[in-house]
Structure 1
Amino acid sequence: MLVPLLSIASICLQPFPVPWKASPSSLSTHLDVRLNTGIYRGVSTANATEKWLGIPYALPPVGDRRFSAPVPLPRIRWTASGTMADKFGNACPQPPADNLGAPISEDCLYLNVYRPEGTKASDNLPVLFWIHGGAWTTGSGSLTSPRFDSDPTRIISRSVAMGKPLIYVSINYRLNTFGFLASARLSPSDLNAGFQDQQLALRFVHDNIAAFGGDPDKVTLWGQSSGGGSVKAHFLYPLPGKPLFRAGIANSDTGPFKNSPDASTYDKAGMPFDRLLHATRCARVRDKMQCLKEMPFQTLLNISNTMIESTLNMQLWEPAIGPPGSVFPERAFTRMRRGDFLHLPYMAGTNLNEGTRLSIDVYNLSIGSPQEDAAFDSFVARLLIDNSTLSSATLEHIRALYPASDMRLGGPYHTGDSLFDRAAAWYGDEMYLGARRLFFDNAIGRQPLYAYHYQESIPGRDAYLGVAHGWELPLIFGPVPQGVNMTFADQLLDYYVNFVNDMEPGGGWKVYSTDAKSVLQLRSVNLTMIPDDWDKKRTEYLWSQAVLDEFEK
C-alpha cells in the first residue's frame, strides 16, 4: 500500500510518486537523503553519478507571493514519507523554448544535486553551485541544447579521475517580469526577487548539502553571462553574516549588470512597468500591484513574452537599484570603487568575440555612410532601459573609438560588415571586458584573482561569430564539439576542478597582481600568460566615472 505523501513536496503540488515509506531513524537506501524539508530519493545513472532532481527550496511564488521575496520552506517533523526526486522541477516563466528540459510554471523554485557514485554523507566534498545565464530573462537549471548540455556528468567524472571529487548543484530562479519587476510601487524588500531566489537557494544548500556528502563551508559559485553577473553580485551584495560560499567563478559576467537604473525609472511613461500596466489594463485600477498579482498566469505570461520578444536582445528588465531595504541599495561600481565587497578567491574572464552573438540585430543590414553612424548610435542607445541619460558627447566619443571600416575590429574574425563589427566590438568591451577589468582593478591586492582570455574557436560554428559569447561552455560541460582539441578541453576543465577544490586553478595559471597584471590566454596552440593590455584605451573610457553614470552601472 502506498503511504500518503506528507512532505513539503505536497504543498508544492509536485506529482511525484511515493513508492516507499522512509523511517526517520533509518533510510532504506543510500539514495535517500533526509533534509530539513523532507526525505528525497535520488537515482543512479549509467555514468557513475547519482542525482536528485526537482528539490523545492522555497514555497511556490504564486498568488499573493507573485513578485514577492521568496519564502523559505518550513522544517518538517520526521514522520513524513519520502519523495522521488527523479524529474526536473518546472522552469520559470519565460518565452517558449525547446531546450528548457522541463515545463514552464510559476511554481519553479527547484534545485538539482549531482554527486559521484557511492559518495557518503561523511565525505565532505566541495560544492560547485551553478547559476545559469540568459540575461535574467531566460534559462533553467535543466537546460539542454545542441550547443551544450548543463548536465554535469563530464565535470563530475573528470573530478573523480583527478582525485578531486565534487558535488554539483544547479538552480532555477525567477526571471524577467516575474523575477525582476521594478517599480516604486513595489516594496523595496521585494525588488529583484529573482536574485533573492538565488540567495535563498544558497541558504538551502548551506543547510542541507551535508546530507548529500557536501561541505557547506566549501561552496564555490559559478555562472556565465548574467549567471556570472549574479556571481559578482553575490560578492558585492552578500547576505549579512558569514558568507555562504568561499570562492567564485564568473564567465563573461556583465558588470554585474548591463545597466541598473533606479526602480522608479521603470514607472516613467514608455518604460517597462508603465507599458506593462497599460498592456494588462491594470493602469485603470487603483491598486495596480494587486491587479498584477491577480492577473491570470497565462494572460500575464503572454503579455510579458510579447514585451520581451519586441525588445533588443530580449532585455526588457535589468536588476534595479532600490532605496534602503532593497538587496541592491546602491550601484555596483560605487561599491567596487570603495572596496566594499567580499574579498574571496575569484576567477573570471572573457571570450575574444563576446559581442557578436549579441549584435546579430545589426548584421548584414547593408547600411552605409552616413547612415551607419546613426544606426550605431541607435544600437548603443537601445540597450539602455532609459537612454535619456546618454549624452551626444558620449556617443560621439564611442563612435571615434570604434570607427567605421576599421579592419582591426573583431580581430582575426573581422567580417567586413562595418556596422556589425563596430557594434560587436563595442558590445564586448562595454558589457564584458571592461566589466572584468573594473572589478579586478578594485579587487587587486585584496584577494586572490585569476583572469583569462578565451580564444579557442569551435569547428563548424558560424565563422562570422568568431570566438563568441558562451563558446567555452561545451568544452567544460560537454559534449565536447567534434574537432576541438580534447587535451585542451580537459585542461580547461581541470582549471575549474582545481579551483573548486583548492581555490586556485593550478596548471601554471598565475595570480593577477599589481606586479603582473596578466591573464591566461586560453588557446590550444598557445596556452600562456599574456599582459592584460589589449583594447585598454577603449575600456578605460567606457568604464570612466562619467560614462558609468550615464550607463547607470
Structure 2
Amino acid sequence: MLRRLLAVCLGAAALAYGSLVTVNTTSGQLIGSNTDGVISFKGVRFAQAPVGNLRWVPPQPFVSLEVQNATSFAPSCIQQFSSALEEAFFNQGGPSSSSEDCLFLNIWTPTNDSGTPKPVLVWIYGGAFTFGTTALPTYDGTSFAKNQDVVVVSVAYRTNVFGFSMARDLAPQRTNLGLLDQELALQWVQQNIAALGGDPAQVTLMGQSAGGQSVGAAFLRHTDAHAPFRAGILLSGAPTFRSAATNHTPFDAFARAANCSQPAGPARLACLRAVPAAAVSAVLATDAATFAFEAVVDNATWFVQPLARIAARATALKPIVVGNAAGDGTVWALGYSSLRAAITDYLGASAAQVSDAQVRALYPGQNDSVVTASFITDYDYKCGAGLWAKAFVGAGERDVFRYSYGAVFVDLSPLPGLGAWHGSELPMIFGTYNASSATAAEKTLSATLQGALGAFVRDPTAAPAAHWARYAGNATRGLAELGYHGNVGPGDFVEAVPGESLDGPCAALYDRFLAAGA
C-alpha cells in the first residue's frame, strides 16, 4: 500500500523502503526520508561544484545517474556578516558547516494521495546577498508542505564575493552569479518537480529581504510567456532604482588583501581562483565595510529602472503578494549612532539632497532612535512594496495583494521594543516557531498566516484570506494590515485599510529616489 501511495504521489520512479524513499531525477536517484506524512529530499545537487576554474563562472548544470543520499542538508554557502549584531539576529541555529561547494536544494512533498500534481512553493532566503542558508531551522518546509498540501523547495545560491563579486575582471553578465544560481535551480524545478509530486505549471516563488529582491529580479528578467513560475510572494524586498555604475572598489581591495596584485584581468582571476575558500572567508571577515558586495546592474539579471520596466510590460506580469513588516527597520537602526549616518548610508550620493529636519518632519513627536528605525522601514521596505503594487496594477495585473505585518510576540523578539522586526514573520509562515514558548495566539496566527499564503500558492487569482482585497491604490481599502491588534484568526487577522494609508513619507520624500534615483 505504501509503495503504491508513494508511486502515485511522486511519480512512477519513486519507491519506498521503510522510512526511506527513492526517486529518479536529473541529479541522480535520490534517497530521501519519509517522516510524519512528508517526504523530504535534502542536499540535492543541482549545479556542479563552483570551485577551482568554476569559481566566478555561471553555474553549470549537474547531471548524474548515480544514487545520491538526500537525507541531510549539504554545507551552506560561505557566509559574510557585517557585524556581530547581524549574525546574532539572522543566523540563529545557523549552518554547522559551510563550503564553496554549496549549490544544493531541498524538497518537502506531502505523502497524501490527492491524485493530481501539487502546487509548488520555491523559497529563496535573504541575507543582503552576503549571507543566508537553506539550513536554518526557521526555513524547514515540513509544516508548510503538510498543512498546505503543496511541494516546498528551498534553493541555495552563492553570496558575497563568491556570488556578487562586482569585479571589473568579469563581463557584467558574470557578476550576479547568485541570481544565475537561482535561475538554474528554477530550471531544475521545471525538469524534475513532476517526479516529486509537483506541478511545474503551478510554481510560486517566495523570498524575504534579499530573497524578496531575488523574486522581484526573476519577474524583471522574464516575460509572461517564458517565466518558470506563475506567481510571486515578495516579503520585505522589492527591487527599485539602482545606478548603472558598478563600484569595483570592494573586489579590488579584496584582491590586494588576498595577495593578488596583478592588474585586473585573467592573471588576477587566476591568482584569486588559487586562493583557498577558507582564506577568502578569512579576508572577508577582516573588514565587512570595505568588502561590501551586492547585486549590480547588468541588464540581464538586474536593471536600472525596475518600475519603468514593469510599466513598459517588459517583465512577467503575474499575481503577487507584496509587503513588509511594520518594524523592518528596528534591528538595522541599532547599528547607527545618528539619523544622519543612516540617511547617508541608505541614500548614498543622494543623501546631500535630504536634511535630517526633512526626515524628522515625517515622524512628528518621535525621538531620533524611532525616526531612524521608521526611516529605514519606509525607505528600504515599505515604499518599495507600495511602488511595486502600484506599478503592477498600472501595468494591468489584476491580482495584486499588498500587506503590512504587525504582529508582535515576546518569545520571538531577541530584544524588547523591536516590534514586528525584520524577519519576525518567517517562523509564523513556516510554522517553525518555538512550540514550547509560543502562546495560543501565536500558534493560531501562524496557522492563519501560513494558510493565507498557502491559499495563494494553490490559487493566486483568489484573495488569500477574508477581507484581503486586491490592491487598487488609495480609492479602496486594498492594503491588508495583518495581526496588528491581536487579531489572529482566519476571519479577522486582516484589517483592510486604504491602499496608501501608510505611504505618507514615501509620497512626500522617498519615492522619487526609489523610482528614478532623483
What TM-score bracket applies, with the shorter chain setting the length? Answer: 0.7 to 0.9
Query: Pick from 453, 456, 464: which aligns with 1:499?
Result: 456
Query: Tell me, what secondary structure is at the counterpart of 1:469?
Result: coil
The structural deviation recorded for 1:404 is 10
Counterpart residue number, 1:157: 146
1:293 matched to 2:293? The reply is no
1:522 matched to 2:502? The reply is no
Counterpart residue number, 2:88: none
Distance in 1 of aligned mates of 2:293 and 2:268: 18
Instruction: Describe the shift of the 1:108–1:327 C-alpha distance in structure 2 as closer, same or farther (beyond 3 A).
Output: same
The structural deviation recorded for 1:226 is 1.0
1:479 matched to 2:432? The reply is yes
Counterpart residue number, 2:400: 449
Distance in 2 of aligned mates of 1:535 and 1:548: 18
Counterpart residue number, 1:509: 468
Counterpart residue number, 1:111: 105
Counterpart residue number, 1:321: 297
The structural deviation recorded for 1:67 is 1.3
Counterpart residue number, 1:140: 133
Distance in 1 of aligned mates of 2:420 and 2:27: 44
Distance in 1 of aligned mates of 2:133 and 2:258: 26
Query: Tell me, what secondary structure is at the counterpart of 2:247?
Result: helix
Instruction: Describe the shift of the 1:26–1:484 C-alpha distance in structure 2 as closer, same or farther (beyond 3 A).
Output: closer
1:463 matched to 2:416? The reply is yes
Query: Tell me, what secondary structure is at the counterpart of 1:464?
Result: coil
Query: Tell me, what secondary structure is at the counterpart of 2:324?
Result: strand
The structural deviation recorded for 1:136 is 1.0
The structural deviation recorded for 1:535 is 4.4
Counterpart residue number, 2:32: 42
Moved more, 243-252 or 467-476: 467-476
Give the partner amino acid of 1:399: A
Q: Is 1:350–1:452's contact at 8 Å kept on the other side of the alignment?
A: yes
Instruction: Describe the shift of the 1:380–1:219 C-alpha distance in structure 2 as closer, same or farther (beyond 3 A).
Output: same
Distance in 2 of aligned mates of 1:518 and 1:203: 34
1:274 matched to 2:252? The reply is yes
Give the partner amino acid of 1:66: R
Counterpart residue number, 2:9: none
1:90 matched to 2:79? The reply is no
The structural deviation recorded for 1:119 is 5.2
Query: Pick from 193, 217, 226: which aligns with 1:233?
Result: 217
1:154-553 to structure 2, matched below 5 A, reads 154-159=143-148, 165-238=149-222, 242-253=226-237, 255-256=238-239, 260-262=242-244, 265-267=246-248, 271-285=249-263, 287-308=267-288, 310=289, 316-322=292-298, 326-362=300-336, 375-383=338-346, 387=348, 389-392=349-352, 394-396=353-355, 399-403=357-361, 406-407=364-365, 409=366, 418-444=367-393, 445-460=396-411, 461=413, 462-480=415-433, 482-483=438-439, 485=441, 486-503=443-460, 504=462, 505-513=464-472, 515-516=475-476, 518-523=478-483, 524-525=486-487, 527=493, 528-545=495-512, 548-550=515-517
The structural deviation recorded for 1:37 is 2.9
Distance in 2 of aligned mates of 1:171 and 1:128: 11
Distance in 2 of aligned mates of 1:239 and 1:95: 33
The structural deviation recorded for 1:244 is 0.4
Instruction: Describe the shift of the 1:189–1:439 C-alpha distance in structure 2 as closer, same or farther (beyond 3 A).
Output: same
Instruction: Describe the shift of the 1:128–1:28 C-alpha distance in structure 2 as closer, same or farther (beyond 3 A).
Output: closer
Query: Tell me, what secondary structure is at the counterpart of 2:246?
Result: helix
Q: Is 2:15–2:23's contact at 8 Å kept on the other side of the alignment?
A: no
TM-superposition CA deviations, 1:464-489 (whole Å, max 9, x none):
21121111111122334512513333
Instruction: Describe the shift of the 1:233–1:405 C-alpha distance in structure 2 as closer, same or farther (beyond 3 A).
Output: closer
Instruction: Describe the shift of the 1:57–1:489 C-alpha distance in structure 2 as closer, same or farther (beyond 3 A).
Output: same
Distance in 2 of aligned mates of 1:132 and 1:464: 25
Instruction: Describe the shift of the 1:68–1:543 C-alpha distance in structure 2 as closer, same or farther (beyond 3 A).
Output: farther
Distance in 2 of aligned mates of 1:405 and 1:530: 20
Give the partner amino acid of 1:483: T
TM-superposition CA deviations, 1:440-491 (whole Å, max 9, x none):
1111142310011111111243332112111111112233451251333322
Query: Tell me, what secondary structure is at the counterpart of 1:222?
Result: strand
Alignment identity in percent? 27
The structural deviation recorded for 1:532 is 2.6
Q: Is 2:79–2:131's contact at 8 Å kept on the other side of the alignment?
A: yes
Structure 1 segments (4+ residues) deviating >4 Å: 25-28, 546-551
Distance in 2 of aligned mates of 1:479 and 1:27: 28
Give the partner amino acid of 1:256: P
Instruction: Describe the shift of the 1:301–1:87 C-alpha distance in structure 2 as closer, same or farther (beyond 3 A).
Output: same
Instruction: Describe the shift of the 1:273–1:266 C-alpha distance in structure 2 as closer, same or farther (beyond 3 A).
Output: farther
Give the partner amino acid of 1:223: G
TM-superposition CA deviations, 1:191-235 (whole Å, max 9, x none):
200011001000000100011111000001011111111111111
Give the partner amino acid of 2:507: E
The structural deviation recorded for 1:357 is 0.9
Counterpart residue number, 2:6: none
Give the partner amino acid of 2:448: Q
Instruction: Describe the shift of the 1:492–1:234 C-alpha distance in structure 2 as closer, same or farther (beyond 3 A).
Output: same
Distance in 2 of aligned mates of 1:542 and 1:177: 33
The structural deviation recorded for 1:89 is 1.2
TM-superposition CA deviations, 1:234-254 (whole Å, max 9, x none):
11122795210000111111x
Instruction: Describe the shift of the 1:26–1:336 C-alpha distance in structure 2 as closer, same or farther (beyond 3 A).
Output: closer
Query: Tell me, what secondary structure is at the counterpart of 1:169?
Result: strand
Q: Is 1:236–1:342's contact at 8 Å kept on the other side of the alignment?
A: yes
Counterpart residue number, 2:3: none
Query: Tell me, what secondary structure is at the counterpart of 1:177?
Result: helix
Q: Give 5+ residue unaligned stretches, structure 2.
A: 1-11, 82-90
Distance in 1 of aligned mates of 2:257 and 2:308: 35
Counterpart residue number, 1:369: none
Q: Is 2:250–2:292's contact at 8 Å kept on the other side of the alignment?
A: yes
Query: Tell me, what secondary structure is at the counterpart of 2:16?
Result: coil
Q: Is 2:55–2:162's contact at 8 Å kept on the other side of the alignment?
A: yes
The structural deviation recorded for 1:517 is 5.4
Distance in 2 of aligned mates of 1:338 and 1:319: 23
Query: How many residue pairs get matched?
Result: 475
Instruction: Describe the shift of the 1:195–1:173 C-alpha distance in structure 2 as closer, same or farther (beyond 3 A).
Output: same
Give the partner amino acid of 1:290: A
Counterpart residue number, 1:16: none
Q: Is 2:216–2:234's contact at 8 Å kept on the other side of the alignment?
A: yes
Query: Tell me, what secondary structure is at the counterpart of 2:321?
Result: strand
Query: Tell me, what secondary structure is at the counterpart of 1:390?
Result: helix
TM-score by structure 2 length? 0.85
TM-score by structure 1 length? 0.80
1:29 matched to 2:13? The reply is no
Instruction: Describe the shift of the 1:424–1:446 C-alpha distance in structure 2 as closer, same or farther (beyond 3 A).
Output: same
Query: Tell me, what secondary structure is at the counterpart of 2:335?
Result: helix
Give the partner amino acid of 1:521: E
Distance in 2 of aligned mates of 1:293 and 1:123: 47
Query: Tell me, what secondary structure is at the counterpart of 2:123?
Result: strand
Query: Tell me, what secondary structure is at the counterpart of 1:299?
Result: helix
